[in-house]
Amino acid sequence: MRKLALFLAAMMVMPWAQPSSAAQLAVDIELVLAVDISFSMSDENLAIQAQGYAQAFRDPEIVAAISAGPLGQIAVSYVEWSDEQRIVVPWTLLRGRADAERFASRIMAASAKASTGTTYITGAIRFGTSMIEENDFAAMRRVIDISGNGENNMGEAPDRARDLAILRGITINGLPMPTWVDPRRLGGVPADIYYRDHVIGGPGAFLLKVDDPANVLRSIKSKLLREIAAN
């Protein structure tokens, strides 16, 4: 009860967290997982990325973190992006192990098996912002999580899209993976530096650099724990 009281008190001082209608369901976090499937990601890396997210949601620590929140439930979606965006798993309410397992299974069943398109981080941020603004949930914390291995190379830089998301009370975190591909295929700025300067932002924003494909699961799990447990 004390956790719930603290949650409701915080909601009162955060106007963007208020339900806009009686139909909206209160959750601890609205989380968009936006993963890069552009040409710079090899098919092997796509598989490693999807497996990392699926395994993370099957991890007992992640399940425990979901249940331990003030409301004990989160809303999460899984989106693939390049020069376009595709919703792989739409907004899903997770309350415990069974929900998390179903979410993991849907990632594995529908995730991309081949890379495609250019790196359009700006579009991913805009798409994630719209998903959060238009869903049926309300939360104190609203987060877009961008995973990728290079800088934006289509359209305008992501800075303005990031800033507009922040103005709407949305935090953008990053999971840059700069060493997954031949550096000659990427821009001149390391992915983690680019994400730091142009992608992440908002209350509590952070990035977690992945130096080796072997560390993907550990990095994704650490990132999710930090996001879900930040109550």
- Looking at this protein, which amino acid is placed at residue 81? W
Long-range CB pairs of 58-65, under 8 A, 24+ apart, other chains included: 58/100, 58/101, 58/104, 59/221, 60/97, 61/221, 61/225, 62/100, 62/221, 62/224, 62/225, 62/228, 63/96, 63/97, 63/100, 65/224, 65/225, 65/228, 65/229
Tell me phi and psi for residue 151, to 5 degrees: -85, 160
pLDDT computed for residue 191 by the predictor: 87
Note the pLDDT tens digit of each residue in 43-60: 888 999 999 999 999 999
Token pair for 89: 């798993």
Cα(128)–Cα(78) distance, integer angstroms: 10
The predicted model scores a pTM of 0.88
Is it the case that residue 20 has pLDDT exceeding 60? no
Residue with the bigger pLDDT between 40 and 194: it is: 194
Boundaries of every domain in the chain: 27-228
Q: Is the pLDDT of residue 6 over 50?
A: no
Confidence band of 169 (pLDDT split at 50, 70, 90) = very high
Closest CA to 197 of 170, 163, 168, 159: 159
- The answer to whether 177 and 145 have CB atoms below 8 angstroms apart is no
DSSP 8-state assignment for residue 112:
-
C-alpha 192/C-alpha 116 separation (Å) is: 22
Is pLDDT larger for residue 187 or for residue 13? 187
Q: What is the predicted pLDDT for the residue at 13?
A: 36
CATH architecture of structural domain 27-228: 3-Layer(aba) Sandwich (3.40)
Q: How confident is the model at residue 81 (pLDDT cuts 50, 70, 90)?
A: very high
pLDDT tens sequence across 143-166: 999 999 889 999 999 999 999 999
Residue 210 has pLDDT above 70, yes or no: yes
Taking residues 119-133, report their average pLDDT: 98
Strands 74-81 and 170-176: unpaired
- Whether the pLDDT of residue 200 is over 70: the answer is yes
Residue bearing the bigger pLDDT, 193 or 23: 193
Q: What is the mean pLDDT of the chain?
A: 88
